[in-house]
Structure 1
Amino acid sequence: MFIQIIQGKVRDADEMRRLVDEWREQMGPTADGWLGGTYGMTDDNQFVGVVRFESREAAARNSGKPEQGEWWQRMEACFDGAATFHDCDEVAMFLDGGSDDAGFVQVIQGRVSDPERFRHFMEQPMDMLHEQRPEIIGGTIAMEPDGWFTETVAFRSEDEARAGERKEMPAEARRDWEQEMATMQDVKYLDLHHPWFASAS
C-alpha cells in the first residue's frame, strides 16, 4: 500500500469538502489503484487528507490524468498558501485499520530518530493496545524514508477517546510507550472532530 497525505491551511472549507466529494463520486471509480481516504478539518482550519493507493505507481498514473490536474487546480485554490504533501511507501495498518464508522480521528505526526526501530514497532501485534484501549477502532501508520511519520487513529467518538486517554496504563505497556515516545521529535496532534471518508466500491 502507498499513502499520500495532503494538508494545509484552508480559506474555503465548504468548497474543499465539496471538491473532495466530487472527486470521490466522479473520478474515484476510475482512479488507478485508489483504495480510499480519510479527511477532515481541525479547529484552526487545517485540512488533512490521508489517501490510500495500491502503490506509488498507481498514484502517479492517476496524478498524470488531465482531469486530475484540472480538479487539483480548483482544490489548490481552497488553500491559504501552499499545500504540503507526504508520500509514504512504508505503510502499516493496525487493528481494523481506518473505519468509515469512526466519529473522531486523531492524526499524529512527527519524526522518529531511529526509523528501523520504528519499523519493528509497527510490525508488532497490537493485542495489548486492543485490550487496553478498546475504544480504538484501528488506524494507519505511514512513514517516509527520513523518519517523518503520519499516524491516524480512529475512534467511535471523541468522548470515548478522551476517556481512554485518562486510563492508567499497566507498567509494562507504559514503559514501552515511553520508550517509543522518547525516539520521536516535533510531535503534533491534529484532531478531526468531524471526519469524513471515502472508499473504492
Structure 2
Amino acid sequence: MFIQVIQGRCSDEAALRGHMDRWMEDLSPGADGWLGGTYGTTDDGTFVGIVRFASREAAARNSLRPEQGAWWEQVSRCFEGEVAFHDCDDVILMLDGGSDDAGFVQVIQGRVEDAPRFREFMSQPMDGLREARPEIIGGTIAIDDDGFFTETVAFRSEAEARAGEAKEMPPEIADEFDREMEQVKDLTYLDLHHPWFATRAPA
C-alpha cells in the first residue's frame, strides 16, 4: 500500500467537501489503484487527507490525469498558502487498520530517527494494546523517506477516546511504548472531530 498525506490551512471547508464529493462521483471510477481515504479539518482549520493507493505508481497515474489536474486547480482555491504533500511507501496497518465507522480520528505526526526500528515495533502483534485500549478501532502509519510519519488512530467516538486516554496502561506495555517514543521528535496531534471517509466499492 502507498499513502499520500495532503495537509494545509483550509479557508472554505464547505467548498472543499463539495469538491471531494464531486471527485467521488465523477473522478474516482477512473482512478485506477485508488483504495480510499480519511479526511477532516481541525478546530484551527488545518485540513488533513490520508489517501490510500495500491502503489506509488497508481498514485502517480492518477495525478497525471487531465481531469485530476483540473479538479485540483479548483480545490487549491480552498486553501490559504502552500499545501504539503507527503508520499509514503512505508505503510503499516495498526490493529484492524482504519475504519469508515469511526466518529473521531486522531492524527499524530512526528519524525523518527530509526524508521526500520519504528516499523518493526509498530508491526508487532498488539494484543496487549487491544486489551488495554479496546476503544481503538485501528489505524494506519505512513512514513516518508526522511522519517516524517503520519499516524491515524480511529475511535468510535471522541468520548471513548478521552476516557481511554485517562486510563493507566499496564506497566509492561507503557514501558515498551515509552522506550520506542524516545526516538520520536517534533510530535504533534491533530484532532478530527468530524472526519469523513471514502472507500472504493468492491468490484
Query: Normalising to structure 2: TM-score of the pair?
Result: 0.97
Is 1:97 matched with 2:62? no
Contact 2:92–2:119 (Cα < 8 Å) also in 1:
no
1:60-98 Cα distance to aligned partner (Å, 9 max, x none): 001000000000000111100010000000001122211
Aligned equivalent of 2:122: 122
Letter in 1 for 2:5: I
Answering whether residue 174 of structure 2 is matched by residue 174 of structure 1, we say yes
Q: How many residues align?
A: 201
CA contact (8 A) 2:10 2:78 kept: yes
- Amino acid of the structure 2 residue aligned with 1:98: G
Following the alignment from structure 1 to structure 2, what is the Cα–Cα distance between the partners of residues 83 and 39?
15
Residue identity opposite 2:53 in structure 1: F
Q: How does 1:72-91 map to 2 (within 5 A)?
A: 72-91=72-91
Cα distance in 2, alignment partners of residues 179 and 157 from structure 1: 29
In the alignment, the residues of structure 1 paired with residue 126 and residue 137 of structure 2 have an alpha-carbon distance, to the nearest angstrom, of: 12
Q: Give the whole-Å Cα distance in 2 for the aligned partners of 1:48 and 1:93.
A: 18
**Aligned ranges for residues 35-184 of structure 1 at < 5 Å?**
35-184=35-184
Shift of 1:22: 1.0
Amino acid at match of 1:167: K
Q: Runs of 5+ in structure 2 lacking a partner?
A: none
Q: Note the C-alpha offset of 1:122.
A: 2.2
| Runs of 4+ displaced beyond 2 Å | none
SS at match of 1:167: coil
CA distance in 2, matches of 1:50, 1:21: 16
CA distance in 2, matches of 1:92, 1:114: 15
TM-score, normalised via structure 1 length: 0.98
Q: Any conservation in 1 of the 2:93–2:123 contact (CA below 8 Å)?
A: no
Question: What is the CA distance between 1:158 and its match in structure 2?
Answer: 0.1
Superposition deviation, residue 120 in structure 1: 0.8
3-state DSSP class of the match of 2:197? strand
| In 2, Cα distance between equivalents of 1:137 and 1:60 | 30
Separation in 2 of the partners of 1:146 and 1:121?
18
Q: Percent identity?
A: 66
2:9 aligned residue? 9
Which residue identity does 1:93 align to in structure 2?
L
Q: CA deviation at 1:117?
A: 0.9
1:3 match: secondary structure: strand
Residues 172-196 of structure 1 show CA distances to partners (whole Å, capped at 9, x for unaligned) of: 1110111111110000000000000
Counterpart in 1 of 2:199?
199
Q: Could you list the per-position Cα deviations for residues 4-40 of structure 1 after superposition, in whole angstroms to 9, with x for gaps in the alignment?
A: 0001001111101111111111111220100000000
Instruction: Name the SS of the counterpart of 2:79 in structure 1.
Output: coil
Give me the whole-angstrom Cα distance separating, in 1, the residues matched to 2:111 and 2:100. Answer: 27
**How far apart in 2 are the matches of 1:119 and 1:57?**
22
